[in-house]
Amino acid sequence: MPDVFTALAGQGSLVDALGQFARHPVHAYLFTGVRRAQAHDAVLAMAAALQCDQFGCGECETCRRVSAGNDPDVYVAERSGVSWRIDELREAERVSRRRPLAGAYQIVVIEDVELTMTGSSPSGSALLKSLEEPPARTVFLLSAEELPDALDTVVSRCVTIRLKPLGEQDIIEVLTREGADHAGAEVAARASQGDLRRARVLVRDHALAARLDQWRSVPDDLAGTPSSASQVVAAIQRSLDEAMAPLVLMQEEELSRRANEARELGQRSVANRREVEAQFKRELRRFRLDELRFGLSALTGVYRDRMVDALGEAREGSARDEQRIRVALGAIDALGEATRRLSSNVDETLLLHDLMFSLMVL
């Protein structure tokens, strides 16, 4: 079993299949089925196995170079917005035509390919063109959290690798293997919603429990005045700012590690540093959105529990009990609408104020 794949938690026999794919590659693989962290880890492991003479030993200079993001023959495409733009995919296609400088293959990594089908100018046709006539020594490694019907033509030109979703125990196993204590790993895994990268950040966040309590206390903190709603919003946003600190620290450590490995390999600086920093900025934006979703989910749970309690205690014809149920249902609807709005690039402050005012007047 190739050592580069051993870190992929919860994948069982699929690890052996990945090793065989690396030995007998085709022109394109599409990793799907789990959230971004595990798919990203799998893509990098596959890239290292393709370039390594021993198909992913995990110890050689090639494996280290690929894992550090410093291999000149592994190109990770970057997008500047929510969706992929045509010019970004054309640049990936241009790179795919290059001859490998040192490795066995020219590898092109394009993540979140479902986003080639969204936006005002979908770019899926540019990706399809790249996959239809690839050079003999080029391998595309794609990833997608989901496979919408619009992506069918892209899917048909790839070997699809369906990664198994990570359960809490899988994430706990990874976190404890990486040095976390078991109790902290349990809390982080529960709050991560199956996202390994997010779990790795949360396990460093000692304020996680306090932040969860803050969200759960929102109904009691809304005192029925606009000023109380504004105070709740301000407190939530301060907590969101603080929640970013562990991720910022992880990114700084990762950049430092890459710089050290680049020096060990005789390179003057981190390859594609500007692209790496742009990727970090996008990750920070995604993490903040995930934190908001986490909080909205926790708050929804509070109102759901209140509704269940009200239903259990309801007396026939009791106006008070009917009011409690109506308020809980209205709050759950308002929270569902706020969660949906997160996908439309709505202003965070505006969204939170609208939500708190809606909850306050129920």
Token pair 């995930």: residue: 290
- Torsion 355-357-360-362 (CA) sign: negative
Looking at the predicted structure, is the pLDDT value of residue 272 above 70?
no
**What token pair was written down for 123?**
């770019």
Quick one: pLDDT at residue 35? 62
Residues contacting residue 241 through CB under 8 Å, at least 6 positions apart: none
Pick the CATH number of 3-164 from 3.40.190.100, 3.40.50.300, 2.102.10.10, 3.40.50.150: 3.40.50.300
Question: To the nearest 10°, the Cα dihedral for 275, 281, 282, 283?
Answer: 110
The answer to whether residues 129 and 97 touch, using CB atoms and an 8 Å cutoff, is no
- Torsion 188-45-5-254 (CA) sign: negative
Quick one: pLDDT at residue 336? 95
Looking at the predicted structure, is the pLDDT value of residue 179 above 80?
yes
Beta strands of 81-151 (E only): which ranges?
106-110, 138-144
* Residue-wise pLDDT tens digits, 275-317: 778 778 888 988 899 899 999 999 999 999 999 988 888 777 6
CA atoms within 13 A on the CB side of 44: 20
**What token pair was written down for 343?**
């996908």
The whole-angstrom separation of Cα 227 and Cα 60 is 60
Apex 103 CA angle, 98 and 107, nearest 5: 55
Mean pLDDT for 331-345 is 91
Quick one: pLDDT at residue 239? 94
* Residue-wise pLDDT tens digits, 97-149: 999 988 889 999 999 888 888 766 778 888 888 898 888 899 999 998 888 88
The whole-angstrom separation of Cα 261 and Cα 317 is 71
SS3 10: coil
SS3 181: coil
* Residue-wise pLDDT tens digits, 9-61: 777 778 888 888 999 999 999 998 766 567 888 899 999 999 999 999 988 98
The whole-angstrom separation of Cα 210 and Cα 169 is 23
Beta strands of 145-250 (E only): which ranges?
159-162
Quick one: pLDDT at residue 120? 66
* Residue-wise pLDDT tens digits, 164-177: 878 888 889 889 98
Q: In which element (H, E) is residue 28 found?
A: strand 28-32
DSSP conformation class of 159? E
Quick one: pLDDT at residue 1? 45
Q: How far is CA 186 from CA 38, 118, 173, in A?
A: 18, 36, 10
